[in-house]
Amino acid sequence: MIFLELITLEESETNYEYGNDPYKRPMEELLKNGLVIIDKPSGPTSHEVSSWVKRILNIDLAGHAGTLDPKVTGVLPIALENTAKCIPIWHALPKEYVCLMYLHRDAKEEDIYNIFKEFTGRILQRPPLKSAVKRSLRIRKIYNMDILEIEGREILFKVRCQSGTYIRTLVKNMGEALGTLAHMQELRRIKSGPFGEEEAFYLQDLKDAYVFWKEDGEEEYLRNIVKPLEYGLKHLKKVVIKDSAVDAICHGADVYLKGISKISKGIGANEIILIETLKGESV
């Protein structure tokens, strides 16, 4: 659970005749200001999964944060309609994967562990041929790698890395450093920014929940899957503003001290923060 300490500058009350608690929004409004975390299956592209979510929920726009290759499974956050504005924030955050690596020749366990240590930290990477970015050499950070199991030439490991790290390339480069070839057999993303696999749902779950709502008026299942956009911003430090400041800031005004009720402790220079109402709504 994420807990960010707030400093109260001035106690203020909010008027519930305007706005909503994000977790109590009417369902139609939630579908325009929400997100779903899909457990992506092997096969379809991330774009196809986003399109299916759009069709299932009968909305105009759905976009994914952090592309997964077709064969890769796991956590794929999907932003619904207005929430698409949040994608750049999620895209830049670290990712975690579980990978099955296969060596083309035998290697000593001691050498394998040493290579994994060498590739932890700042590394140089060139994106693969089949990538959507320019193939220039760039620096990426591997925060940590843990070998979970070694069986023959197969190595199962977990990695936490900077966004934009190519795990397939990482595996290839580690194989070369071991004096052999290596390839990625399987890959699953277990965490994307603030979202973990324990929060992810299958597309079938989303479809069933939507049908329950539409045909039976049962909202519980769909609300369990579709989260308000604020759910995906819990990791950000924030400035909580008074009701009197909301309209002005929504129309482009600056945030002034007299309009602030509470503020997170320890906000740094150039840090992305969330401006929030007293009801918890993202401004």
Q: How many CB atoms lie within 10 A of CB 193?
A: 20
Q: Return the closest-CA partner of residue 139 out of 114, 157, 178, 166.
A: 166
Q: Which of 21, 39, 60, 69 is catalytic?
A: 69
Half-sphere exposure of residue 138: CA atoms within 13 angstroms, side-chain side:
16
Report the C-alpha gap between 138 and 124 in whole angstroms.
6
Tell me how far CA of residue 160 lies from CA of 48, 154, 182, 192, 282, in angstroms. Answer: 26, 20, 20, 10, 29
Query: Is 69 annotated in the active site?
Result: yes
Ramachandran area for residue 255 (φ above 0: left; ψ -120 to 50: alpha; else beta): beta
Report the C-alpha gap between 218 and 210 in whole angstroms.
9
Contacts of 88 (CB under 8 A, 6+ apart): none
* Length of the chain, in residues: 283
The three-state secondary structure class of 24 is helix
Active site residues: 69
